[in-house]
Copies of this chain bind each other. A is one copy, B any other.
Amino acid sequence: MDMSQPIVVVLHGADRPPAMGPVEALSRVRYTNAGGLWSALNGAHALFVWDSRTPVLARVWDAADSLRWVHAASAGVDNLLFPGLRDSDVLLTNSRGVFDEPMAEYVLGLVLAFAKDLPTTIRLQQRRHWSHRETERLAGSRALVVGTGPIGRAIGRKLGAAGVIVSGVGRVARAADPDLGDVVPMAGLRSALPHHDWVVLAAPLTPETTGLIDAAALRAMRGTARLVNVGRGGLVVQPDLIDALDSREIAGAAFDVFRDDPLPPSSPLWDMPNVLISPHMSGDVVGWREELVRRFQDNLERFRDGRPLVNLVDKRRGYVRGGS
């Protein structure tokens, strides 16, 4: 097959990727939204999933007659790991690395917002009300980071640099990890939860991690602890979270991701005290779109040249292996 001008389908939502000139010079690009994907896939060699939130690919998979590679403009690939793609020879790559440091800063910001009671400060300011309160020290508090991939590691380093004592939860237990301290295996999550002030979710969504934080896990957390989720909404059983917040089993939650994304206006989470809702933006610093396109372009050059792709997802595990 001549790969000097591969056919690339770009699956986009409301916004197209920016700065596609170099990609267009390397390939024949077909832009489409979800509705046009079925016909666009015909004869295409590569698919650039710019809108990673749509589950449409599973439904039109039979049209992928020439597809050899799918690249996700995201770190999580849970929407792409349906049986058709997973069991095929089609390669899957992701954008591992783009979001790590921005997300770690975001998590540190959320944690400090809780410790320093910043949401209350902002609400009091709206009422022009001066009300002194005491705040919490961050240094010396304990965080449990669930997920030992590059995002979890960046979070561990960032919190550690701010004086937080960090532990981790991962597939494999290990002691004295440089980024995450003592790492317990997933099976040890429940017994680790009571010993932490912050529980930060940064794991991929896989069959093993779906619903990881359920009623029993929330009950195991400290009453003073806060749950931060920048991973995937499906890591948490949302009704159980709402119950735990309602009954003050935990002291607060900051969520950037939700099973339903965007979070519908009818969700009770919006109005709950001590809950911070942000619109799936934790990793999206100025320039992130351009960086995502550069990552795809780099892999496209490799694809064209027949060189190995970077950030190849282990489709059985659901994430890029190595360093975790």
Contact = CB atoms under 8 A, between A and B. Distances in A.
Interface stretch (A16-24, A190-198, A211-219, A284-292): A284-292
Interface stretch (A55-63, A100-108, A201-209, A305-313): A100-108
A124 B262 CA distance: 13
A281 B133 contact: yes
Contacts of A130: 262-263, 279
Contacts of A115: 105, 109
A90 B278 CA distance: 55
A121 B135 CA distance: 21
A134 interface: yes
A288 B139 contact: no
A302 interface: no
Interface string A286-303: 101000000000000000
A118 B125 contact: no
A133 B122 CA distance: 19
Size class of the A contact interface (CB-based, 8 Å): 35 or more
Interface of A: 101-102, 105-106, 108-110, 112-113, 115-116, 118-119, 121-125, 128-139, 158, 161-162, 262-263, 265, 270-271, 276-282, 284-286, 288
A285 B136 contact: yes
Contact of A138 (B105, B119, B135): B105
Contacts of A262: 130
A270 B128 contact: yes
Contacts of A133: 279, 281, 284
A128 B134 CA distance: 29
A116 B106 contact: yes
A298 to B, nearest CB: 21
A133 B281 CA distance: 7
Contacts of A121: 276-279
Nearest to A267: B128
A113 B105 contact: no
Contacts of A124: 279
B101 A134 contact: no
